[in-house]
Structure 1
Amino acid sequence: MRILIVEDEPKTGDYLYKGLKESGYVPDLARNGHDGLHLASEQHYDLIILDVMMPGLDGWQVLTELRRKLSTPVLFLTARDDLADRIKGLDLGADDYLVKPFSFAELLARIRTLLRRGPPREKELLQLADLQIDVLKHKVTRAGVRIQLTSKEFALLHLLVAHEGEALSRAQIASQVWDMNFDSDTNVVDVAIRRLRAKVDEPFESRLIHSVRGIGYRCEVES
């Protein structure tokens, strides 16, 4: 299980990293909110441990940005045992709240509880403009017209629409659709995008799949 620790206090961050590693987890440590947000956006984690009080980008802001893209369980750490703060964190999408100082045994117990819950149920139906994806039936229609896709094309379109408005890098796409590390000499992503556009975009009036220069691709309705 991979866990991301976002903690600006050096001793606490090192303590958590060492303890989680010795407990059999695979931790990464970010020393500030900006680095934590970047790592969470670029890699898959089963759980995020997030400190609230950080300079610059604090825990509230990091969580707000995370919840626009990810449903990864988040355990808040804070030195402030204030009911209003706890309610704020939960309202923003935190899954649990632990007040400093805490026992490492309690932290491990809460981590186990959060990981046992498993991922939230995936949406069965995705909609973007006149494009509709029935996830369970693997059925795609646009403007009422059925579109036949291969399994990889379906997985690619599903990924793009599920992250509507988000620029996904070629490395992210290759990792999640083909379960492979992206090689800059490999054009598998670009070829697949071209084939997908030929089926999903070109026969229709508006385009939904857009190139993001220097990054990759994004799916959204452009005004």
Structure 2
Amino acid sequence: MTDSGLRVVGVSHGYAVRGQRLEVLHDVSLSVAPGELVALAGPSGSGKSTVCHLAAGFESPDAGTVALDGDACPSVADWARIASVPQQHGLLAGLSVADNIALPAYRAGLDAALLDERLAGLAEALDLGAFTRRAVTETSLGEQQRTAVARALVLSPRLVVLDEPTGHQDDDHVEQVIGVLVGAARAGSGVLVASHDERVWAVADRVVRLEDGRVVTDAAT
């Protein structure tokens, strides 16, 4: 494993379900280096989303460690370090598409000219230019998903964690999403993508496959 980037080491994790303990992950280890795109593959229920939650800092593991550049992943959102695209997207209904994308940049105090440049570039790359002033609730699920991807990339974070980011896209828009993720990795971000889509696996530097909460393969493509 790399010394920098994301390191998940010996992680086990579970949840209480109707008074019983459901163990989801069992001694999972994986890494994502800066500039690397790693795909998480595996059947539904294999633990991909739980790995994403832990990597993004939404939860802390029951056992093992999850760290970014040697430090524990923050529980308070720091989108310049770790940005995420959850399956439910997490957009703010009262804001426009543009304001949802820009929200991490507003909080970080990003220079207005640089923000405008990044917004324009992401909107063009993800086919959102015609919708940026529209309320996000007035857009399709596919457009909302691409908005969430743009929001995750607006600060060029150290790590981007995405859970099924192509699930609501047609073929052309799948290629656009994949293109911006490859671009983010080439620009130096670590990118962790949970996906059933073989097109995502094909562009990944490595594919980590989970089954029953365990890593069964971790191989370069």
Q: TM-score higher than 0.5 here?
A: no
Give 1 or 2: higher helix fraction.
1
Higher relative contact order (CA 8 A, sep 6+): 2
Give 1 or 2: higher strand fraction.
2
Give me the TM-score of the superposition, normalised by structure 2: 0.30
Give me the TM-score of the superposition, normalised by structure 1: 0.30
Q: Which has the larger radius of gyration?
A: 1
